[in-house]
Amino acid sequence: MYSIPIVLLNDIQKLLKNKFNFYYKFIIYNKFL
């Protein structure tokens, strides 16, 4: 029962992390333009 929510949480965390990294790089890139 617990394995499915944990996997979903991990996927969501990865998605959020990737999004955050993308925006972070995007902001840094714009700063140096």
The full set of domain ranges for the chain reads 1-32
Q: What is the pTM of this model?
A: 0.51
- State the pLDDT at residue 9: 84
How do residues 6-25 score in pLDDT, each as one tens digit?
Answer: 788 888 899 999 998 888 88
- Return the pLDDT at 14: 92
**What is the sign of the dihedral through the CA atoms of 10, 12, 15 and 20?**
negative
